[in-house]
């Protein structure tokens, strides 16, 4: 049982769950004065989650370096585009 809990997939799943709760808390927090700031935070969190999913669940982490760079470039381009739309 211990070996099942201490796997990379389980750790990734726990991080994804925690970050999802964080982004929900940011979106429902009365302390966030501007919806733009909340939107940017949520987009950055979503991009972080997407990178974790791509690297660990789609196993790009073990792929050739060029594929990892393309995946990271895609996430960066998507992030710049989405954040640019918010501002």
Is 47 in contact with 80 (CB distance < 8 Å)?
no
pTM: 0.84
Residue 44 CA to residue 82 CA, distance in Å, equals 10
Q: Taking a C-beta distance cutoff of 8 angstroms, is the pair 80, 40 a contact? A: no
pLDDT of residue 39: 87
Placement of tokens 């964080």 in the chain? 22
Please give the Cα distance from 41 to 33 (Å, whole number). Answer: 13
In the three-class reduction of DSSP (H, G, I as helix; E, B as strand; rest coil), residue 6 is classed as coil
Cβ contact 41:19 at 8 Å: no
Q: To 10 degrees, the CA torsion angle through 34, 37, 43, 45?
A: -110
pLDDT at 74 over 80: yes
Task: Note the pLDDT tens digit of each residue in 7-66.
Answer: 888 889 999 999 999 988 888 877 777 888 888 888 999 999 999 999 998 989 899 999
């Amino acid at each position: 049982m211990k070996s099942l809990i201490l796997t990379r997939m389980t750790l990734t799943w726990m991080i994804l769950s925690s970050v999802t709760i964080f982004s929900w808390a940011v979106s429902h927090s009365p302390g966030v004065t501007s919806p733009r700031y909340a939107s940017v935070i949520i987009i950055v969190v979503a991009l972080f989650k997407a990178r974790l999913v791509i690297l660990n669940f789609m196993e790009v982490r073990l792929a050739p370096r060029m594929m990892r760079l393309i995946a990271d470039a895609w996430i960066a381009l998507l992030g710049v585009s989405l954040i640019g739309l918010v501002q």
